[in-house]
Amino acid sequence: MARGTIRYWAAARAAAGVEEEPYEAATLAEALHNARRGRSGDFARVLERSSFLIDGAPVGTRPHEGVALAEGAVIEVLPPFAGG
């Protein structure tokens, strides 16, 4: 079990109601599952459309259950952005 920080950007920040929060989880899937607790369906919908970085490295299409989190890792939640 690792401890770290989840940072939310743009619409993810608005849906979460916070800029960042701590997590305790072994995988990205577990961290996101825990983050959903007690939050609205809007938050879950934003997560479904978001991409994720772990310590600056893109998760891409890897299954979240297989993305292990290291102690102190930072998860960044990036919803789709408009513009260019």
Supply the pTM of this predicted model: 0.93
CATH H superfamily, domain 2-78 = Beta-grasp domain (3.10.20.30)
Terminal CA-CA length for the chain: 38
27-69 pLDDT per residue, tens = 999 999 999 999 989 999 999 999 999 999 999 999 999 999 9
pLDDT at 66: 97
Q: Which residue has the tokens 């369906």?
A: 41
The closest alpha carbon to 55, from 37, 46, 68, belongs to: 68
Q: Specify the pairing of strand 74-78 against strand 2-8.
A: parallel
Angle between helices 41-49 and 28-36 (to 10 degrees): 150
